[in-house]
Amino acid sequence: MNNAYVIGHISVKNSEMWAEYRDRVPATLEPWGAELLLRGKLVAVLGGAHVHTDTVVIRFPSLDAVSGWHASAAYQALIPLRQMAADVDLLTFEE
């Protein structure tokens, strides 16, 4: 089974709401065996174009775990907060 990764490219619209969202996400990851690998701010674009200022990388043990997490009631409850707090492009990759 291959690891899967969720990568979020983020432009924060409301820092207080974003902080609340960020604080609540880790509890939604635990049941799925996910690990938060990176929460970072963009330093430089070395090629091409990138519109977002922040990035998050989360490792999951499988694509099924990604699907389960994203569809879970715990994470679905946070999506409205995420949408108010930031513009987010959320992508999944498999190793």
User: Where are the chain's structural domains?
Assistant: 4-94
86-94, strands of its sheet edge to edge: 35-41, 54-60, 4-12, 86-94
Backbone φ and ψ of 75, nearest 5°: -80, -40
Q: pLDDT truncated to tens, each residue of the chain (95 aa)?
A: 799 999 999 999 999 999 999 999 999 999 999 999 999 999 999 999 999 999 999 999 999 999 999 999 999 999 999 999 999 999 999 99
pTM: 0.93
Given this model, what pLDDT does residue 1 score? 74
pLDDT (0 to 100) of residue 73:
98
Architecture of domain 4-94: 2-Layer Sandwich (3.30)
List, in sequence order, every residue forming a beta bridge with 78; answer none if it has no partner: none
In whole angstroms, what is the distance from residue 28 CA to residue 31 CA?
7
